[in-house]
Chains A and B, each alone.
Chain A
Amino acid sequence: MNQLTGKPVDRVDGRLKVTGGAKYSAEFDIKNLAYGVTVQSTISKGRISKIDTKEAEALPGVLAIITYKNSMSLHQLSSEGGGSPGSGKLGEKDLLPLQSDRIFYDGQHLAVVVAETFEQAEHAAHLIKIEYQQEKPIFEIEQNIAEAYKPEKGLGGSEIQLKRGDIEKGLADAEVKLDETYITPVYHHNAMEPHATIAEWNGEQLTIYDSTQSVIGSRNAIAQQLGILPDKVRLISYFIGGGFGSKGFTWPHSVLAPMAAKHVGRPVKIVLTRMQMFTCNGRRSRTIQKIELGSGKNGKLAAIRHANTVETSFVDEFIEPAGTATKLLYDSPNLDVSHSVVRLNKATPCPTRAPGEAPGTFAFEVALDELAYKLKIDPIELRLANYAEKNPHDGHAWSSKYLKECYQQGAAAIGWTKRNVAVGSMKEGHYLVGYGMATAIYPGNRGAAAAKVRLYPDGRAVAACCTQDIGTGTYTILSQIAADALGLPLNLIEVRLGDTQLPKGPNSGGSQTAASAGPAVQEAALDAKSKLIKKAIADKKSPLFGQQEQTISVENGRLFVQSEPTKGETYTDIIKRAGVPMMEGSADITVSTRETQSQEANPTSKGRGGGGEEGKADTNPFVKQDQDVDRKKYSFQSFGAQFVKVLVDPDLGTVRVDKVVSVIDIGKVLNLKTAENQVMGGVIFGIGMALMEHTAYDPNNGRVVTRDLADYLVPVNADMPEFNVQFIDKPDPYISPIGARGVGEIGITGITAAITNAVYHATGKRIRELPISPDKLL
């Protein structure tokens, strides 16, 4: 059988997307739809003293103006699963919208105007006058550093205060030491598709169209706030135009839509504006990372201290886990990773593509480059001298690791050994040339997932899983997996995602979608195929009657005896003869590769945790085989190597990333095209982080100043380097029967450090605070 998995198959939804046929959350035509626009605070701290809505109410078309004075009451979430499949996580659990007059940050929603048209709602929103009792806000880490605290755990109960060995002794005894501080600014996700929610009540039943990375989580979080049972809510999110973490938690606008819809007795749509999205739906925290390294003259690390200070809000706690990858990267006997948090009058931060690893690898991999220059050791040699053959923190074996191969391939592709190692020694025209490298790292997460696969008499197959495609290609890779498992061509497979009526799938965070939903779809498909084969070999009317199951193969929907290929029949023949509308296979898997999990994601001995609806999964032999693997013995991580060539104009301070080589080990590559897309996308994010992106706040009042894509710069086509993305492409033997780890986030890790290191090689200037804008190189 011609295997589709691994091939650079075109996106199955590509045509829909380029023709406008793919419906995003704001694009559903709902009868009698009204439009909601929110009014946001323009101060960072205080209270509302007066809301004057008179002028706005008098406008034609205005249906309602909802404020804390006339809003329905909401319910606090009782428990939070911290991003695990099936849980719901609010972005700001202590700030349910429109419940009080208190203001905690600039851009907090204070009112919703509902009108017949968007234009009417927007204009009315503008005419609402709010007076405040202002209080003095705290908006920079440095202003509140005295109140910094060290939380015990991070998101989902993860360990964020980490120690091994004796750090003080390790540092004291070291022959060579480095002690530097690195800073990354606030970044915003800036997904192309804005956050959008449509809510439609039908009696007690609620339908929500929401742009979310967690269809089930968002459904649960919205239901709980409204005080209704989750099964009263159907949430749909068929297509998502990027999320990058900002759509992982549920933000206030998502519950404002059903609140407003209830208020006016009509369906209501709320779409946030680009300006609003710089305030009320998360961001990447600023990080201040102090790194101390102690090593021998031979480069062997003796001690690593990585002390992080990050920010959160007064209404929830999210800790950018900038130091957590540090415990895994290199083999050092002594280590101390800590995270301190400072509360600020800003909206709550949240995960942003590779939360922790992206800013963390910037600081740590730059520090390592500094150490390499100090020791006069090649940066690759230094990394090899400290290569972790097993997880250095808990001693577990890696499920698979090919980082040495990544270094080798990357070095060869960029011409690493041909460079002149002397700083500032290489030139092309006006430009100084620099080469830099860094290690990429991201966890190989896999979580619980259920799926169903149905075969129909017309030859089609439908695979269903309530996960979502946030633009990464999930529809495509699941189609490939189902097609291979069933022995059907791609055009007969339909994948259904993004609807809470489907079997419970994972949220799209932690790069876990493919690694979690992939095996579930595969095992459901194998289950369906097995059921059909069993039916045929037990049926006297079948040409396959009396054969053993394992002797049957399927190609193009035709089952046949391997040793006697002329003996066979099609799926369609079997289903038609059985006289059933379809045949169904299912899978419900509770595997987790995470070190710490919240309750719901914990593996249980008998597989029901995933929540597949009809409970036939226990009997699925493929699931049993998968769940019987003892994964506790292994540490699941993806690694990679980033190599960069930059051109720096020494007079004007401009940096051009000329070439990027990324060699990535994500286990088995499911689709070369979409995987390459993801790594390139991550690298582009990293170029933005390294060279231009940053959210600026007013130094006097803490309000966001850069609030559009003209002021908040992301890289454009003209900034693109020559890309060379390579994969090791060897299956991870323990993560799943497919062997694939996720690829959505690893591309952004290491890249900012590689660029910063290359800039140093070109100029001799060591930049420790991002972005590397021209003014820093003058």
Chain B
Amino acid sequence: MHPFTLIEAQNNQAVIHALTSNLKAKMIAGGTNLLDLMKMYVEKPEQLVDINGLDLKKIESLPDGGVRIGALVTNTDLAYHPAIVQQYPVLSEAVLAGASAQLRNMATTGGNILQRTRCPYFFNDTFPCNKRNPGSGCSAIPGYNRMHAILGTSGKCIAAHPSDMAVALVALDAVVHIQGAKGERSVPIRDFHRLPGETPHIETVLQHDELITAVELPAIPFAAKSHYLKVRDRASYEFALTSAAVALDVNNGVIRSARVALGGVGTKPWRSAEAEKVLTGAKNSVETYKTAANVALQGAKEYKYNAFKIELAKRTIVRALTTVGGLS
């Protein structure tokens, strides 16, 4: 581990001040991803700013029916909160599909959104990696890329975004609240993560001196019928090969509204507006789901070891929709 100092910040302003005054400072909350990366010399902060003392640990129901989740709410608290379980089961299921109970007890909402890829080449600093060391090249494109992305990839990076929670948040149109030196702003989570393009090392729109304060879920009555399905190589404690966060609003056999987001396949949590377009207004049937699934994967690009993800992702979507659509 690169040597570092540790300070504790008691309020948001103190965090922002610490970050502003040191370009090599980094926030730490649960540390479940950051500490791993520091041990591997992928992250080399000179200063850690402990933000666990901040007042960002509440889950509040909003007057319009939405829910506001503090950035420091742990994955465990989020997954079992009654408002989340009842109004947004897809989010609860997604969180519980990730990591292990021990990790979920430490990991936070803000940290989960900011977690970095599990690409083994990114994690091992003796391999070239454009994300870790811009311009050094991508080892995964010609390398062992079974776990890598098939959507949103670029010639510079094909690393998959690892979060389950963020896939559900994308499906739910969550909004990320941010506070920085220049004040407060809100970003729809769909725009929060960036595609790798030419700059895979820049993963989100969050600036160095900014802090996530909360994630807000809008009221979506039909999200009460939502589901997260994750397919993986073992039954638990493993990242997705493919996953799907879906919600359906079905009336008289016709789909009024739909949400489809994918995990394990995108370089960012992947919302498929195209699939939702196919579903909206169509007959609630497995045939419709299949058409939607095909559309969702239309732009997919396969690599040597991960071609199976295209078919598996389609089947994952169909199974998830079948479950919420009441057709199983």
> Is the pair B238, A652 in contact by a Cβ cutoff of 8 Å?
no
A706 at interface by CB-CB < 8 Å: yes
Interface string of B62-81 (1 = CB under 8 A from A): 00000000000000000000
Residues of B within 8 A of A706 (CB): 120, 144
A691 at interface by CB-CB < 8 Å: yes
> Is the pair B234, A691 in contact by a Cβ cutoff of 8 Å?
yes
A192 at interface by CB-CB < 8 Å: no
> Is the pair A713, B312 in contact by a Cβ cutoff of 8 Å?
no
The stretch that binds B, out of A216-224, A442-450, A537-545, A694-702, is A694-702
A656 at interface by CB-CB < 8 Å: yes
> Is the pair B315, A651 in contact by a Cβ cutoff of 8 Å?
yes
Question: Out of B1, B144, B235, B315, which one reaches A705, CB within 8 Å?
Answer: B144
Q: Nearest-CB distance from B161 to chain A (Å)?
A: 15
> Is the pair B234, A652 in contact by a Cβ cutoff of 8 Å?
no
Query: Contacts A719-B236, A774-B231, A774-B233 known; A652 to B319 CB distance under 8 Å?
Result: yes
Residues of A within 8 A of B233 (CB): 691-692, 713, 773-774
Interface string of A102-132 (1 = CB under 8 A from B): 0000000000000000010011001000000
Interface string of B113-141 (1 = CB under 8 A from A): 00000101101101100000000000100
CB nearest to A720 among chain B residues: B235
A778 at interface by CB-CB < 8 Å: yes
B183 at interface by CB-CB < 8 Å: no
A147 at interface by CB-CB < 8 Å: no
B155 at interface by CB-CB < 8 Å: no
> Is the pair A715, B234 in contact by a Cβ cutoff of 8 Å?
yes
Query: Contacts A122-B1, A778-B312 known; A718 to B139 CB distance under 8 Å?
Result: no
Question: Out of A122, A697, A718, which one reaches B235, CB within 8 Å?
Answer: A718
A146 at interface by CB-CB < 8 Å: no
B316 at interface by CB-CB < 8 Å: yes
> Is the pair A778, B308 in contact by a Cβ cutoff of 8 Å?
yes
B17 at interface by CB-CB < 8 Å: no
> Is the pair B312, A698 in contact by a Cβ cutoff of 8 Å?
no
> Is the pair B143, A699 in contact by a Cβ cutoff of 8 Å?
yes
A605 at interface by CB-CB < 8 Å: no
> Is the pair A718, B236 in contact by a Cβ cutoff of 8 Å?
yes
Q: Nearest-CB distance from A467 to chain B (Å)?
A: 35
Residues of B within 8 A of A719 (CB): 234-236
Q: Nearest-CB distance from A693 to chain B (Å)?
A: 10
Residues of B within 8 A of A710 (CB): 118, 238-239
Question: Out of A275, A653, A697, which one reaches B312, CB within 8 Å?
Answer: A653
B241 at interface by CB-CB < 8 Å: yes
Residues of B within 8 A of A697 (CB): 144
Residues of A within 8 A of B123 (CB): 708
Question: Out of B127, B239, B308, which one reaches A775, CB within 8 Å?
Answer: B308
> Is the pair A700, B316 in contact by a Cβ cutoff of 8 Å?
no
B304 at interface by CB-CB < 8 Å: yes
Q: Nearest-CB distance from A565 to chain B (Å)?
A: 57
CB nearest to B318 among chain A residues: A651
Main secondary structure of the interface of B (DSSP, over half): loop
In the complex the two chains form, what is the Cα distance from A751 to B238 in whole Å?
23
Q: Nearest-CB distance from A707 to chain B (Å)?
A: 6
> Is the pair B2, A123 in contact by a Cβ cutoff of 8 Å?
yes
Q: Nearest-CB distance from A777 to chain B (Å)?
A: 10
Query: Contacts A698-B139, A711-B120 known; A652 to B236 CB distance under 8 Å?
Result: no
Q: Nearest-CB distance from A336 to chain B (Å)?
A: 35
> Is the pair A652, B312 in contact by a Cβ cutoff of 8 Å?
yes
Query: Contacts A698-B144, A707-B120, A708-B123 known; A654 to B231 CB distance under 8 Å?
Result: yes
A79 at interface by CB-CB < 8 Å: no
Residues of B within 8 A of A715 (CB): 234
Residues of A within 8 A of B236 (CB): 716-719
> Is the pair B143, A705 in contact by a Cβ cutoff of 8 Å?
yes
Q: Nearest-CB distance from A686 to chain B (Å)?
A: 14
In the complex the two chains form, what is the Cα distance from A774 to B146 in whole Å?
12
Question: Out of A656, A698, A773, A775, which one reaches B143, CB within 8 Å?
Answer: A698
A71 at interface by CB-CB < 8 Å: no
> Is the pair A652, B2 in contact by a Cβ cutoff of 8 Å?
no
Question: Out of A126, A653, A705, A707, which one reaches B41, CB within 8 Å?
Answer: A126
> Is the pair B142, A700 in contact by a Cβ cutoff of 8 Å?
yes
Residues of A within 8 A of B2 (CB): 123
> Is the pair A705, B234 in contact by a Cβ cutoff of 8 Å?
no
> Is the pair B121, A705 in contact by a Cβ cutoff of 8 Å?
yes
Main secondary structure of the interface of A (DSSP, over half): loop
Residues of A within 8 A of B235 (CB): 656, 716, 718-719
In the complex the two chains form, what is the Cα distance from A718 to B328 in whole Å?
24
Q: Nearest-CB distance from A721 to chain B (Å)?
A: 11
Interface string of B1-36 (1 = CB under 8 A from A): 111000000000000000000000000000000000
Q: Which residues 170-215 of B have a CB within 8 angstroms of A?
A: none
Query: Contacts A126-B41, A719-B234 known; A699 to B304 CB distance under 8 Å?
Result: yes
> Is the pair A652, B144 in contact by a Cβ cutoff of 8 Å?
no
Residues of A within 8 A of B311 (CB): 778
Query: Contacts A691-B234, A700-B143 known; A707 to B124 CB distance under 8 Å?
Result: yes
A386 at interface by CB-CB < 8 Å: no
In the complex the two chains form, what is the Cα distance from A700 to B127 in whole Å?
12
A724 at interface by CB-CB < 8 Å: no
- B123, B234, B237 — most chain A CB neighbours (10 Å): B234
A181 at interface by CB-CB < 8 Å: no
> Is the pair A42, B126 in contact by a Cβ cutoff of 8 Å?
yes
In the complex the two chains form, what is the Cα distance from A705 to B233 in whole Å?
17
Q: Nearest-CB distance from B126 to chain A (Å)?
A: 4
> Is the pair A123, B312 in contact by a Cβ cutoff of 8 Å?
no
Question: Out of A705, A716, A718, A774, which one reaches B241, CB within 8 Å?
Answer: A774
Question: Out of A696, A716, A775, which one reaches B144, CB within 8 Å?
Answer: A696
Q: Which residues 83-128 of B have a CB within 8 angstroms of A?
A: 118, 120-121, 123-124, 126-127
CB nearest to A126 among chain B residues: B41
Residues of B within 8 A of A656 (CB): 235
> Is the pair B146, A696 in contact by a Cβ cutoff of 8 Å?
yes
Q: Nearest-CB distance from B147 to chain A (Å)?
A: 8
Residues of A within 8 A of B232 (CB): 654
> Is the pair A716, B237 in contact by a Cβ cutoff of 8 Å?
yes
Residues of B within 8 A of A654 (CB): 231-232
Interface string of A370-394 (1 = CB under 8 A from B): 0000000000000000000000000
In the complex the two chains form, what is the Cα distance from A774 to B1 in whole Å?
36
Residues of B within 8 A of A775 (CB): 146, 241, 308, 312
Interface string of A749-778 (1 = CB under 8 A from B): 000000000000000000000000111001
CB nearest to A717 among chain B residues: B236
> Is the pair A699, B144 in contact by a Cβ cutoff of 8 Å?
yes
Q: Nearest-CB distance from B91 to chain A (Å)?
A: 21
In the complex the two chains form, what is the Cα distance from A42 to B319 in whole Å?
43
Question: Out of B124, B143, B312, which one reaches A774, CB within 8 Å?
Answer: B312
In the complex the two chains form, what is the Cα distance from A122 to B239 in whole Å?
29
In the complex the two chains form, what is the Cα distance from A728 to B240 in whole Å?
42
Residues of B within 8 A of A653 (CB): 231, 312
In the complex the two chains form, what is the Cα distance from A713 to B32 in whole Å?
19
Q: Nearest-CB distance from A274 to chain B (Å)?
A: 10
Q: Nearest-CB distance from A48 to chain B (Å)?
A: 15
In the complex the two chains form, what is the Cα distance from A774 to B313 in whole Å?
12
Q: Which residues 299-326 of B have a CB within 8 angstroms of A?
A: 304, 308, 311-312, 315-316, 318-319
> Is the pair B234, A716 in contact by a Cβ cutoff of 8 Å?
yes
In the complex the two chains form, what is the Cα distance from A433 to B281 in whole Å?
37
10 smallest A-B Cβ distances: which pairs? Answer: A718-B236, A775-B308, A718-B235, A42-B126, A705-B144, A696-B144, A719-B235, A692-B233, A651-B315, A652-B231
6 more A-B contacts (CB under 8 A) besides A430-B328, A716-B234? A42-B126, A123-B3, A652-B316, A708-B123, A773-B233, A775-B308
- A and B contact pairs by CB, cutoff 8 A, 6 listed: A696-B146, A698-B143, A698-B144, A708-B123, A713-B233, A774-B233
